[in-house]
Amino acid sequence: MPGPSGTGAVTRSTLRQQIADALRDEVLAGRLQPGREFTVKEIAEQYGVSATPVREALVDLSAQGLLDADQHRGFRVHEYSVDDFRGIVEARGLVVDGMFHAVGAGRLSALGTDEARAADALTGVRRRGEEAQRAADAGDLTVLIGYDLRFWRELSALFGNPYLSDFLHRLRVQSWVCTVQHLRRRGAPQGALWSGHTGLVDALARCDTAAAHAIIDAYNAHSLALIERLAAG
């Protein structure tokens, strides 16, 4: 029967996740700049917690590609290059292709549930897309990132493969970190970020995989061109 040590382990695990989430948000917001170095002790003191969950959280973020670990100097925020971004875009494109393959039979039920439930789920995802589009059009990067990540998390969950969904989420976080690093450095005009979320959902609702692929291809080309332009100054 679990004793106090079990409860402590759960608490530490929860704290570990909370710290990881908070630091990830700091990186996504651009408040932790690329190359910024810090130690376990520094973060533990900042959050008023012990070193163990902090170390575990930092190791988790390193495994996700957001931090670089240095055995002697602690951790630093990873700086993504344009080549890194190209690789991320290619990888997320392959994952999305696998998702869309599920609707190739031309039925919403291919999404892993009956058609009525699939339609309801897509309606919910579409609402996230509408919020993301409004934020993109307004140039509100922080709100856009939140809704965009939620949009893709909920959309990918419809395909019934949690491994695929988790991998895509990780790629999308990485791509946003890279985008933020370049946007904060150079700036981008209002309306420059992709806002085709609802069009993608509508294509999937029609089981029109050709249209969905075309939207994603245009999105990837747009994203890469934006980063290349920002990196070039």
Residues 110 and 27 in one domain: no
Domain count, the chain: 2
- CA–CA distances in Å: residue 19 to residues 64, 152, 169, 191: 14, 23, 18, 32
Q: Which domain holds residue 18?
A: 4-77
Which tokens belong to 22?
A: 């908070």
The pLDDT of residue 3 is 35
Q: What confidence score (pLDDT) does residue 196 get?
A: 93
pLDDT in tens, the chain (233 residues): 333 344 444 465 689 999 999 999 999 988 888 999 999 999 999 999 999 999 999 999 999 999 999 877 899 999 999 999 999 999 999 999 888 876 765 555 445 556 667 778 889 999 999 999 999 888 888 899 999 999 999 999 888 788 889 999 999 999 999 998 888 776 656 678 898 999 999 998 888 889 999 999 999 999 999 999 888 87
Record the pTM.
Answer: 0.85
Q: What is the pLDDT of residue 2?
A: 37
**Based on the domain organization, do 111 and 163 belong to the same domain?**
yes
CA distance 140 to 126: 19
Together in a domain, 113 and 45: no
Q: Which of 42, 77, 112 is the last residue of a domain?
A: 77
Q: Of 61, 77, 93, which one is at a domain's C-terminal end? A: 77
Is-contact 148 132, C-beta < 8 A? yes
Q: Which strands form 67-70's sheet, in the order they lie side by side?
A: 37-38, 74-77, 67-70
CB 97 within 8 A of CB 159: no
Tell me, what's the pLDDT at 26? 92
Query: Does one domain contain both 152 and 99?
Result: yes
